[in-house]
Amino acid sequence: MAERRTEVLVIGAGPAGLAAAAAAAACGRRVLLVDDNADPGGQIWRGEGRAHLAVPARFEVRCGVRVVDACGASAVLAESAGGVERLTFDRLVLATGARERFLPFPGWTLPNVVGAGGLQAMVKGGVPIAGKRVVIAGSGPLLLAVAAYLRSRGARSLLIAEQTGRLRLARFVLGLAGAPQRLRQTLELRRALAGVPLLTDAWPLSAHGAGRLEEIRLRTRRGERGERCDLLACGFGLVPNTELAALLGCRVEAGCVAVDEHQATSVAGVYAAGEMTGIGGLDLSRIEGEIAGYAAGGDERKARAGLGPRRRARRFARALERAFALREELRELPDARTLLCRCEDVSVGRAARYPSWRAAKLHTRCGMGACQGRICGAAAAFLFGWRCEHARPPASPARIATLAAQHEV
């Protein structure tokens, strides 16, 4: 097995990972940044990430590299088109981000019902959206960002259904008065969406169509209504990606990787930054990345300079969390026959007969398929209040040859 040694290894090239790599490099460390996508940028800057790299970048970036497991102490196992390698580090910064939460409702598995962030990525990847009627539903600021992007790419008509209440949303926007820059961003976003209806207290009840999506039923403040559309893009908030951190032995609390003041995890020499430590948006991710990068690079003074900004950004994150908390009614969306696990065709009704995630998994196969519960686990956690963890290797499907190479060290 090939072996690569570096002083600071950063996993994940989204905003947090990019900031961490830059900070560690600024400390004079040799830094390697790896990401499993074709380009750096993470979810938000997908396809535009190179623009966010300092030029010339003072660290090495390698894309198309997927880290699948720990590999002894101070190393991880990675696979790429070139094969398998062991990446050895003195310090590690994890910045593996978050994924969208899907909630099941009747019809959610119809073709053309997609994830909101997923649709944005597809369009960035070249899927045409011009002339399409799109409903964007779920919760959180991501819905607005996706709507603005789709509009800029020529989507014909758009409708946003935000589940949170009008009052809560208003309170949130008012709260932004103390953060003029965020308020400006928000207003700009709203302007970019001028003419796009934004319904609050609204969510999809069901999706219908023969073979593919034709119409959805929406619950709104004025009761139920139908809406014809070509695409339904859903996202009910984000879920931290903690699988790799857990395999490295890092403590995970309430679904987030636990970190101290300097973004250090419970494992010595391993730091974590960005959405995996708690959902907080772009600014918080960058600040955490910078703190983690400086701490991993050995410059405690510079790391501490980020603590104040992080405190403010966390305040905003908490406000976001309150404003967009999922409402109880959403638990009633699926009926007993609605699929919970798409990989293994397990309905909500079947899973509901069991007392825990593990019992449901073992007795129905829910969460046992290719996605290993990454999608249905988050939904089940919300629907049933279960703790849905995955602490078994590999962090994502990996070639058998990769796992077999682990002891050639």
Partner 1 sequence: MSGRTDVLIVGGGIVGAACAAACAQAGLTVALVEADLAVGMDATAAGMGQIVAMDGSPAELALTRYSQRLWDDLARSLPEDCEYERCGTLWIAADDDEMEEAARKATRYHEHALQAELLEQRDLYALEPALRPGLAGGLCVPGDSILYAPRAAAALLAEAERHGARALFGCRVRALHEGEVELDDGARMAARTVVLATGARAAELIPELPIRPRTGHLVITERYPALVRHQLVELGYVKSAHGTDADSVAFNLQPRPTGQLLIGSSRQYGRADPAVDRVIVARMLKRAIAYLPVLHGLDALRVWTGQRAATLDGLPYIGPCPGRAWLFVAAGHEGLGITAALATARLLSDHLLGRAPEIAPEPYSPARAWLETVVRA
**Which residues would be at the binding site for ligand FAD (CB under 6 A)?**
358, 361-362, 368, 372, 389, 391-392
Nearer to ligand FAD, 236 or 386 (CB): 386
CB within 8 A of 8, min separation 6: which ones? 21, 24, 25, 29, 30, 31, 32, 89, 90, 91, 92, 93, 293, 296, 297
The structure tokens listed for 54 are 């300092």
Q: Does 42 bind partner 1 (CB under 8 A)?
A: no
Q: Say how far apart CA 347 and CA 365 lie, in whole Å.
A: 11
Q: Indicate the helix (H) or strand (E) that contains 231.
A: strand 231-236
Q: Would you put residue 173 in left (φ > 0), alpha (ψ -120 to 50) or beta? A: alpha
- CB of 367 vs ligand FAD, minimal distance in Å: 7
Q: From the list ligand FAD, partner 1, none, which binds 351 (C-beta under 5 to 8 Å, kind-based)? A: none
CB of residue 271 to ligand FAD, shortest distance in Å: 21
70 binds partner 1 (CB under 8 A): yes
Q: Is 94 helix (H, G, I), strand (E, B) or coil?
A: strand
Tell me: does residue 404 bind partner 1 (CB under 8 A).
yes
Taking CB under 8 A as the criterion, the residue among 297, 358, 375, 377 binding partner 1 is 358
Q: Between residues 72 and 154, which has the closer beta carbon with respect to partner 1? A: 72
Residue (192 or 368) nearer to partner 1, CB: 368
Residue nearest ligand FAD (C-beta atom): 368
* 3 state DSSP class of 38: coil
**C-beta of 250: minimal distance to ligand FAD in Å?**
12
Q: Which is nearer to ligand FAD, 166 or 358 (CB)?
A: 358
Question: Which position among 180, 211, 355, 385 is part of the footprint of partner 1 (CB under 8 A)?
Answer: 355
Cβ proximity to ligand FAD, 372 vs 396, nearer residue: 372
Tally the residues of the chain: 409
Among partner 1, ligand FAD, none, partner that 356 touches (CB below 5 to 8 angstroms by kind): partner 1
* Candidate list 193, 369, 374, 389; residue touching partner 1; CB under 8 A: 369
What gap in Å lies between CA 57 and CA 17, rounded to an integer?
13
Residue 218 partner contact from ligand FAD, partner 1, none using kind-dependent CB cut-offs of 5 to 8 Å: none
| 356 contacts partner 1 (rule: CB under 8 A) | yes
Residue labelled with tokens 């009704």: 349
Indicate the burial class of 126 (C-beta count within 10 angstroms; 0-12, 13-18, 19 or more).
exposed
Q: Which helix (H) or strand (E) segment is 76 a member of?
A: strand 75-80
Helix locations, 88-140, DSSP H: 116-124
Specify whether the CB–CB gap between 277 and 98 falls below 8 A.
Answer: no
Rounded Cα–Cα distance for residues 251 and 242 (Å): 10
Residue 71 binds partner 1, judged by CB under 8 A: yes
Q: From the list partner 1, ligand FAD, none, pick the one residue 389 interacts with, judged by a Cβ distance below 5 to 8 Å according to partner type.
A: ligand FAD
365 touches 346 (CB < 8 A) = yes
362 binds partner 1 (CB under 8 A): yes
* Partner from ligand FAD, partner 1, none binding residue 355, C-beta < 5-8 Å depending on class: partner 1
| Contacting positions for partner 1 (CB under 8 A) | 69-72, 354-356, 358-359, 362-363, 368-370, 372, 392-394, 397-401, 403-408
